[in-house]
Amino acid sequence: MSGPVESVEVFTLTLPRDTPYLGALRPGERANAQGYIVRKGNRTVYPTFDRSVLVRVKTRGGTVGWGETYGIVAPGAVGAIINDLLSGFVVGREVDNPSAIYDDLYDLMRVRGYTGGFYVDALAAIDIALWDIAGRQAGEPVSSLLDGVSRETIGAYVSGLPEPTMDKRADLARRWQDRGFDAFKFATPVADEGPAAELQNLRSALGPQARIAADMHWNQTAEEALALIAAMEPHGLWFAEAPVRTEDIAALETVSTATAVPIAVGEEWRTVWDMRQRIDRCNISIVQPEMGHKGITNFTRIGALAAEHEIDVIPHATIGAGIFLAASLHASSALPTLAGHEFQHSIFEPNRRLLVGDMDCREGMYRLPTAPGLGVEPSEEALELLQPI
Ligand code: MG
């Protein structure tokens, strides 16, 4: 043991991007003073840069663990929750059971209804850092600490084709196919010619064997979603993701019980409770937990519930330095019904330099980092980019 937690520090890590996430600005889209853009296709805000929140937890014995959560907007909110509230209840704790600490922290604000949002994002960052410490203390990768199956590689699907035209997006997908990837996903809000035409074009470029999914970004009513899915279905749709607004469970029930196309949801959920109330009513084929929102503790519980209901798990991968991606790979590797993992190549490749470790994604497969703990940590360059909150 390396003793109790001595300190918890919070930082932002910001990086410029050559091309904004989801591609170059479209007509009518412009960055505001904060560098935020609203994508017309899904009415959602994104930064024109990459930014996440990193947490560094140190024990009295000198073990350091790193965590990460969302920082794409308002990173100070997560920082304030950690600095003002959570840190004081983590310092002094032994790190022999991160899940018990997670549950203690979660319960602190339950009576006030804080069961999601920035609060649970903050918990996720701390949870990941505590699991990193637990692994380092044990001298084992985090994956070895988790019950379940054991994988060293995980199938990766190429997500995000940030090019301005349908043909260029198909060319980009083809280049990844040439590099050994056989599964892809496009985003319907930026499919300028319509989702069916986009899928048809990708299908003719990638061939009949390629798996191609559509991320529908929660942007439709049930009727609209079903019409779009019906138009895409003849071109071979692997799964339809986030077809309706996340709050509208009735619409998800309508869509998921009316189509034979597999429905995938769940990146935005925070806890297993978000999942429970949907799987009871809806016909969900795939859940997509996002580590940066859930932490290893919650992610693992969602995976267990998915296995209980024979639902596949294909985790989400988001914008960040990659500490939460490493955590996601470790937690994913133990899940009984894992069926792949998202690969955000336009973030992973340029941001490789931010991490030290042997985490990799090539020839269609993620390679889990092998060193103790998460097996990755910020590089010298990343450490210099950290801004304390
Ligand atoms: Mg998505």
Q: Spell 289-303 as b/e; 16+ CB within 10 A means b.
A: bbbbbbbbbbbbbbb
User: Ligand 1 centre from 288 Cα, in Å?
Assistant: 8
- Looking at residue 293, its pLDDT comes to 97
User: Ligand 1 centre from 345 Cα, in Å?
Assistant: 14
Q: Is the CB of residue 324 less than 8 Å from the CB of residue 69?
A: yes
d(CA 101, CA 383): 27
**Domain boundaries, position 217:** 145-374
Does residue 50 lie within any of the structural domains?
A: yes
d(CA 178, CA 341): 19
Residues 157 and 242 in one domain: yes
Q: Which residues pair with 373 in a beta bridge?
A: 141
Does residue 183 lie within any of the structural domains?
A: yes
Does residue 108 lie within any of the structural domains?
A: yes
Give the domain-ending residue among 84, 106, 141: 141
Average pLDDT over residues 252-268: 98
Indicate the range of 20-29, 124-133, 197-206, 233-242 predicted with least confidence: 20-29
H or E element at residue 116: none
User: Ligand 1 centre from 334 Cα, in Å?
Assistant: 23
Residues 224 and 307 in one domain: yes
Average pLDDT over residues 226-254: 98
User: Ligand 1 centre from 225 Cα, in Å?
Assistant: 15
User: Ligand 1 centre from 239 Cα, in Å?
Assistant: 12
Dig out the tokens for 223 from the structure: 């009727």
Tell me which of 2 and 11 has the higher pLDDT. 11
pLDDT digits (tens, 9 = 90+) for 151-199: 999 999 999 898 999 999 999 999 999 999 999 999 999 999 999 999 9
Cβ-Cβ contacts under 8 Å for 87 (sequence gap 6 or more) = 8
Dihedral over Cα of 142, 145, 148, 153: its sign = positive
Residues 9 and 153 in one domain: no
In this predicted structure, the answer to whether residue 378 has a pLDDT above a threshold of 60 is yes
Give the domain-ending residue among 92, 108, 141: 141
pLDDT digits (tens, 9 = 90+) for 277-294: 999 999 999 999 999 999
Tell me which of 388 and 2 has the higher pLDDT. 388
Residues 81 and 45 in one domain: yes
CATH number, domain of 344, equals 3.20.20.120
Q: What is the mean pLDDT of the chain?
A: 96
pLDDT digits (tens, 9 = 90+) for 60-105: 999 999 999 999 999 999 999 999 999 999 999 999 999 999 999 9
Q: Is the CB of residue 83 less than 8 Å from the CB of residue 150?
A: no
In this predicted structure, the answer to whether residue 272 has a pLDDT above a threshold of 90 is yes
d(CA 67, CA 55): 5
Dig out the tokens for 342 from the structure: 């998202």
Which of 260, 264, 331, 337 has its CA nearest to residue 299? 331
CATH number, domain of 113, equals 3.30.390.10
Does residue 42 lie within any of the structural domains?
A: yes
d(CA 367, CA 123): 26
User: Ligand 1 centre from 185 Cα, in Å?
Assistant: 9
User: Ligand 1 centre from 132 Cα, in Å?
Assistant: 26
d(CA 383, CA 228): 45
Give the domain-ending residue among 109, 141, 173: 141
Does residue 317 lie within any of the structural domains?
A: yes
Q: Is the CB of residue 43 less than 8 Å from the CB of residue 22?
A: no
pLDDT digits (tens, 9 = 90+) for 308-330: 999 999 999 988 999 999 999 99
Residues 168 and 266 in one domain: yes
User: Ligand 1 centre from 279 Cα, in Å?
Assistant: 18
In this predicted structure, the answer to whether residue 136 has a pLDDT above a threshold of 80 is yes
Residues 288 and 314 in one domain: yes
Residues 211 and 346 in one domain: yes
User: Ligand 1 centre from 241 Cα, in Å?
Assistant: 7
Which of 130, 149, 202, 126 has its CA nearest to residue 171? 202
- Looking at residue 70, its pLDDT comes to 96
Residues 134 and 177 in one domain: no
Residues 160 and 301 in one domain: yes
User: Ligand 1 centre from 215 Cα, in Å?
Assistant: 5
Residues 64 and 176 in one domain: no
Rounded to 5°, angle at Cα 148 from 238 and 185: 20
Q: What is the DSSP string of 44-75?
A: EEEESEEEEEEEEEEETTS-EEEEEEE-SS-H
- Looking at residue 51, its pLDDT comes to 95
User: Ligand 1 centre from 52 Cα, in Å?
Assistant: 18
Residues 182 and 303 in one domain: yes
d(CA 311, CA 264): 10
User: Ligand 1 centre from 368 Cα, in Å?
Assistant: 23
User: Ligand 1 centre from 376 Cα, in Å?
Assistant: 25
d(CA 123, CA 125): 5
Does residue 233 lie within any of the structural domains?
A: yes
In this predicted structure, the answer to whether residue 1 has a pLDDT above a threshold of 80 is no
Residues 132 and 149 in one domain: no
- Looking at residue 341, its pLDDT comes to 98
Does residue 379 lie within any of the structural domains?
A: no
Does residue 23 lie within any of the structural domains?
A: yes
Dig out the tokens for 68 from the structure: 């990460």
Average pLDDT over residues 3-19: 94
Count of structural domains, the chain: 2
